[in-house]
Structure 1
């Protein structure tokens, strides 16, 4: 593994964490959404990662294999005065837990920052190696 492949590994991780942050932002934006007229509410999504082993092309790292919907049931709250209430007076809300999403956002943000630090450290080491040759 060459020093330059570190940039590929960290770059793939940064890209994957960026996509994870986008999904978290979408989940948080729809955390208080109620079901539409079709009765289907917003279901939270989560990113599934997959490792990319080193192959003959020397690419290794991580990638997003899929974005899956959360299978937990939608929340129902009794509010007969709400315009979106069903015949029993229940309003269907999304299944997004804002606290879990905030933890997920912090985790993704830290992973992103860590990979930026890895790239900066690798750059510094390569520059020091070039300076030794002078």
Structure 2
């Protein structure tokens, strides 16, 4: 039964990582028009599961994208300087939406793997009861 719990642990770590990634991407999309907002990125790291040869995925530290902020011309904006410019965000909605679709697909794949492993364990227990 250890193989089933190992598989469930791996898929659960993937679900947690993709969930955090989706939350971070949602924050980026929500703040795309916020002046001075910097895009957040989150890397994934592997984590050795103690005592086994299995690796789990875990999210790393959230970091800010160092790409330059967009300079927007709008003299009527309250943050505009004497030249009529202010700093917007460095969020590219096309990239964020593409990343969100990828994260959603990965989350769904981990969820399907979790469900399939759970069903296999349940079926095995049913067979052993007979």
What's the TM-score once normalised by structure 1's chain length? 0.87
Tell me, yes or no, if structure 1 residue 115 matches structure 2 residue 110. yes
Correspondent of 2:58 among 16, 41, 63: 63
For residue 31 of structure 1, what is the aligned residue in structure 2? Answer: 32
Runs (5+) with no aligned partner, structure 1: 35-40
The count of residues paired between Structure 1 and Structure 2 equals: 128
> CA offset at residue 63 of structure 1?
0.4
1:96 aligns with 2:91: yes
1:51 corresponds in structure 2 to 46
1:132 matched residue in structure 2: 127
Instruction: Look up the SS of the partner of 1:77 in the other structure.
Output: strand
CA RMSD, Structure 1 to Structure 2 (Å):
1.6
- Whether contact under 8 Å (1:8, 1:59) holds in the other structure is no
2:11 corresponds to: 10
Q: Deviations over 1:13-43 (max 9, x none)?
A: 1111111111111101110112xxxxxx110
Corresponding position of 1:37? none
CA offset at residue 57 of structure 1? 5.6
Task: Kindly indicate which of the two structures has a greater share of residues assigned to helix.
Answer: 2
Q: Deviations over 1:35-55 (max 9, x none)?
A: xxxxxx110101111012343
How big is each residue's C-alpha offset from its partner over 1:87-125, in whole Å with a ceiling of 9 and x where there is no partner?
A: 221121000011111111111111111111001111121
2:37 corresponds in structure 1 to 42
Uncovered stretches (5+) of structure 2, i.e. residues with no partner: none
